[in-house]
Chain A
């Protein structure tokens, strides 16, 4: 029978270690999401104000973050800031900084998009009905914005979780790194471990991201 190298995962605490590695990745995404979502709402709302200067600054921030690959951003913060500012940043903190900056930019763009997608006559008809500005926002604009926003921000969460795989490259010990360690340690006894272990990593990422994507699609169908 074809040796798929799956047996290493049943040795000792290997599977548990892999899952702990996954938890590191998920933890980084969760923290980044928790911080970047509210920041994104602020950024996005500010992007719809009339002040040209604020708009310009935010536009530059958004475009700069967006055009660079996330790995380049990780390198800049991890290697660059250590050098420039003389501090010693752990890989985890560097990745949270990058994901927050990136997440706030992406979320900001989603919020902006959702806000400007509300047709003008929604404001006008609210006014015609005698609603105050605050009431218009509370009862008319925000509920509609949220419905457009929620599926998109859930998608952003899966993107973020997928992107956490990159933190391996700045020395964070997450699932892929643990996988490499397990494969390396069992090189002699299980030469085919790299098939089985990476397959399991692949499946684990899928099992985390897929349900979230399905939820986003479900909400999108129901709400949009």
Chain B
């Protein structure tokens, strides 16, 4: 292992890691928003909107992110929707993650007993207030383990960003392998940086899962 090489190219990886995380997290935030809207539409069985949401979920879950990104990045500009590579990365994660977040939240919403809605109605709450103060907080807390699992999954999926020429970790590693044949060092750095990103979230995930499984509110 050539430590000089590693030291020299460490900053490059740092930059790439920051880019990966930045785009990943931004995409995840949008994915949660998309998921929230979709889950609420499915929960209230809003006509037409529900069909559109179901169709989107099927499309999103049954196609690879890489293909989605190619279509967004190379295809869409031809019909007038041009975006920067960064924006495409965010859009891709939001498109893919939206359906996963929607499913997680929907099962959370459905786990709240319907009579809780009636109870809220009896106290005079309208449906927006019921959703906001009674249903959603309970749904979110039951969905948290699934949310964290989705976040880990989406962060891992960011590894394909290099295909739309984003200078992410994969791009950097491949570049260095191609340029200097320092395969071992480049891959070592790649693994280390992904571990730095994923390990904390993964540990948080198993912590949250244990907590949610064995405890509830007020403990």
Contacts and interface: CB of A to CB of B under 8 A. Distances in A.
Indicate if A touches B (C-beta under 8 A).
yes
B66 A69 contact: no
A209 B68 CA distance: 14
B75 A165 contact: no
A75 B62 contact: no
Interface string B17-50: 0000000000000000000000000000000000
Interface string B50-73: 000000001101111011101100
Which of A69, A179, A183, A195 has the most CB atoms of chain B within a 10 A radius of its CB?
A69
Contacts of B9: none
Interface residues of A, number: 43
Q: State the main secondary structure of chain A at its contact with B.
A: helix
Contacts of A163: 64
A201 B70 contact: yes
A210 B59 CA distance: 8
Interface string B156-181: 11111011000000100110010001
B64 A80 contact: no
Interface string A68-81: 11111001100110
Contacts of B163: 168-169
Interface in A141-158: 158
Given A76-B191, A198-B67, A69 B157 contact: yes
A217 to B, nearest CB: 10
A68 B163 CA distance: 18
Nearest to A169: B163
Contact of B160 (A71, A158, A197): A71
B130 interface: no
Contacts of A57: none
B190 interface: yes
Given A169-B163, A169-B170, A213-B61, A194 B74 contact: yes
Interface stretch (B86-94, B106-114, B193-201): B193-201
A157 B7 CA distance: 41
Given A205-B62, A210-B62, A165 B190 contact: no
A46 interface: no
B136 interface: no
B198 A67 contact: yes
A84 interface: yes
Contact of B184 (A67, A83, A164): A83
Contacts, number: 114
Contacts of A69: 156-159, 194
A205 B156 CA distance: 20
Contact of A202 (B58, B68, B158, B187): B68
B8 interface: no
Contact of A79 (B62, B74, B162, B177): B177
Interface of A: 2-5, 67-72, 75-76, 79-80, 82-84, 158, 162-166, 168-169, 176, 179, 183, 191-192, 194-199, 201-202, 205-206, 209-210, 213
15 contacts: A69-B157, A71-B160, A75-B174, A75-B187, A79-B177, A165-B66, A166-B66, A168-B66, A183-B74, A194-B74, A196-B75, A201-B70, A202-B68, A206-B62, A213-B58
Given A68-B156, A165-B67, A195-B75, 10 more contacts: A69-B157, A70-B156, A71-B160, A165-B66, A169-B163, A169-B174, A176-B67, A195-B78, A205-B62, A206-B62
